[in-house]
Structure 1
Amino acid sequence: MAHITHVKIYGLLGRKKPISFDLQRDVNVIFGDNGGGKTTVLKILDAALSLNGTTMLALPVQKAEVDIYSVEHKQVIKHVWDRKSAAASRQSEAMAEWIETFPSGEFPHQFLRSVDAEWTLSPMLKLKKGGWKHTFLPTTRLYLSNTYKVSSGKPLTEAELDSLFFENVNKSWLRYYSNVLARVRAIQEEGLRTVANYALAPKIEEKTGPKLDPLVAYDRVKKFWKRQSAAEIALGTKASFVKRYETEENFRLIVDSLNRLEEAIEKAMVPATLFMQKISNLFSAGKKIALNNSNELQLQLQDGSPLSLAALSSGEKHLIAILLAAMSAGQSSIIIDEPELSMHIDWQRQFVETIRDLNPECQLIVASHSPEVMAEIADEKIVSI
């Protein structure tokens, strides 16, 4: 996990003076007119986090320095890319091709020096391929897959693009939700072990007294066992449950433990539940997001009938794609270009707050020229380009 702390860019769009700015751990809005370099800055940040020097070659910039704080290493790592070094490296690559024309063993390799065309790190670290974990959502975020047919080379139809959106969104959702369900299963297994331990333990003589309201305890434990599809078998009637909870110490310890585990399950489910609530609250005409039998996201109309996500408007698609990516980002950086695209003005006003509600641990970096997006953002979190 890592986040960006400082950026310095030389020669952005031919500027004579470098631009330099700090980035906050939570929220950052890069603000400016169209064509002012906002998108280029985001691409530089993505390239630095990805350790991708090839992307930098196509950007109108001479040099970039990006400081990234590594949570694992507990230090700031300076990432530097220099076009001059990249040009020298390309010359070295050309020389390497020339060397291959010599018969084996006849070229004096000891005189050859190569220059790294990629990002240089200080201090040097060995990172996994792809660099630091992060998410970059460009303006083409709805279709982050190849939008051209491999066989014919023709652009995809509108229907095929809708199908691609549905596929990409549900792949991302299922990847996230499967991790949530895995945590829930682990908690449930702990609950079963707790029940077995207390059920097999010697009778406890010390009386601690009820810690929960018996009726509240009944509802919480019933909810826990309902996830196991065994609520009635496990609990019996409400009256018998209350009596046992008030009089049997071992039973009470089991119930109190299951109550804590149910609270842990609810906590693990909060982001996913909140995601669907937020989306549903922002949608109009009574539409809401629900899960089908395969745990895929689907649209539910006011009359209860289902509808594919592919039928959503452009603004609604952007909203789902962005919020899902933000929720899945964890403590890493999420970089978004023009989140206001196709968004209703009310959504723009709630955008940053909604993302922070879904994932308060991510570093949010957005480029925007919408006053509504930054309406409630503190000045120190706004970078003017």
Structure 2
Amino acid sequence: MQKYADYIEQIEIESLWSGKKHVIWDLDRKVNILSGVNGVGKSTILNKVVKGLSANGEFPSHMIKGVRLKVSPEDAKWIRFDIIRSFDRPLINAETVSKIDISLATELDWQLFNLQRKYLDYQVNVGNRIIAVLQSGQPNAAQQAQRISEPKRKFQDIIDRLFADTGKTIVRTENEIRFNQIGETLVPYQLSSGEKQMLAILLTVLVEDNLPYILFMDEPEVSLHVEWQKQLIDLILDLNPNVQIILTTHSPAVIMNGWMDKVTEVSDITV
């Protein structure tokens, strides 16, 4: 049976910049924010860790030479993880989606397309659990079923609140994510860059289904309004209290809601 880590305790990189720098970063269970001037190595540290994890999160056999992770529990051999990058760039591999009968113009569009598939799987899993509980005959079955469906409802409520200024609301009768805006139905690819970015982050968190996992984010604030930047960490933890966040940022707004003590300067972990 695959044994997954709950979180990463320490990242060690002994070969940063051709061996000139040695990084040892002791991590918080919940929130870790890496800061520093441009070019100091924030993204490089994240990328080296992510690159060493195989697609299904197996490690340490796939780790890049000189990169080591200490995890909890220490005998775990797999990590559930996701990586969020910030730039809504034009879709580079357009041929990949040429056979899909929808208009995908950017990398965020492609990310949202894949998340829609995961969202459908998530809903099937949630539905099956609700049916099993309701058929169990337990006296508190209805309350248990409501608890199982609560994360999805919370996600929808959060998105509705964030998008309220533009009059967008999630269509809750649809299996795929659609929005209503003054009587018009919109798909996620019609949103602004900032809306796509926030939707992608929160949807990524939701479909992990409250399991312990690591969310890597490289400058997630780039497309986000400053008010959304302030709320970002709290919204993620609200949707999944079992997540461990590891992010890089240049934005003071991201840490304004009480996360200053979770900030680490690259220079503080580099020798």
TM interval, shorter chain, is 0.7 to 0.9
Q: Does 1:275 align with 2:219?
A: no
CA gap of 1:290–1:7, structure 2 versus 1, over 3 A, is: same
1:13 Cα deviation from its structure 2 partner: 2.7
- The one-letter amino acid paired with 2:12 is K
Q: Does 1:42 align with 2:46?
A: yes
Q: What's the RMSD between the two structures over aligned residues? A: 3.0
In the superposition, the TM-score normalised over structure 1's length comes to 0.58
The corresponding residue for 1:264 is: 144
Distance in structure 2 (CA, Å) of the matches to 1:173 and 1:67: 31
Of 122, 133, 137, the residue aligned with 2:84 is: 137
Q: Does 1:65 align with 2:12?
A: no
Greater helix share, structure number: 1
Of 24, 28, 31, the residue aligned with 1:24 is: 28
The corresponding residue for 2:242 is: 361
Distance in structure 2 (CA, Å) of the matches to 1:263 and 1:323: 25
CA gap of 1:175–1:40, structure 2 versus 1, over 3 A, is: same
The correspondence of residues 1-385 of structure 1 with structure 2, limited to 5 A, is: 1-2=4-5, 3-14=7-18, 16-50=20-54, 51=59, 56=64, 63-70=66-73, 76=74, 127=77, 131-139=78-86, 147-149=93-95, 159-161=103-105, 164-165=110-111, 167-191=113-137, 257=139, 260-283=140-163, 284-293=165-174, 295-301=175-181, 303-329=182-208, 330-385=211-266
> Is the 8 Å Cα contact of residues 213 and 243 (structure 2) preserved in structure 1?
yes
Q: Secondary structure of 2:223's match?
A: coil
CA gap of 1:310–1:165, structure 2 versus 1, over 3 A, is: farther
> Is the 8 Å Cα contact of residues 49 and 133 (structure 1) preserved in structure 2?
no
CA gap of 1:132–1:383, structure 2 versus 1, over 3 A, is: same
1:279-311 Cα shifts (integer Å, max 9, x gaps): 111112221122344x1110111x343222211
CA gap of 1:150–1:25, structure 2 versus 1, over 3 A, is: closer
CA gap of 1:65–1:378, structure 2 versus 1, over 3 A, is: same
Q: Secondary structure of 2:222's match?
A: coil
Whose RCO is larger (CA < 8 A, sep 6+)? 2
1:55 Cα deviation from its structure 2 partner: 8.0
> Is the 8 Å Cα contact of residues 81 and 215 (structure 2) preserved in structure 1?
yes
The corresponding residue for 2:269 is: none
Aligned identity (percent) is 29
Distance in structure 1 (CA, Å) of the matches to 2:261 and 2:14: 22
Give 1 or 2 for the bigger CA radius of gyration.
Answer: 1
Distance in structure 2 (CA, Å) of the matches to 1:359 and 1:151: 31
Distance in structure 2 (CA, Å) of the matches to 1:268 and 1:142: 36
Distance in structure 1 (CA, Å) of the matches to 2:97 and 2:189: 24
Distance in structure 2 (CA, Å) of the matches to 1:63 and 1:69: 20
- The one-letter amino acid paired with 1:68 is V
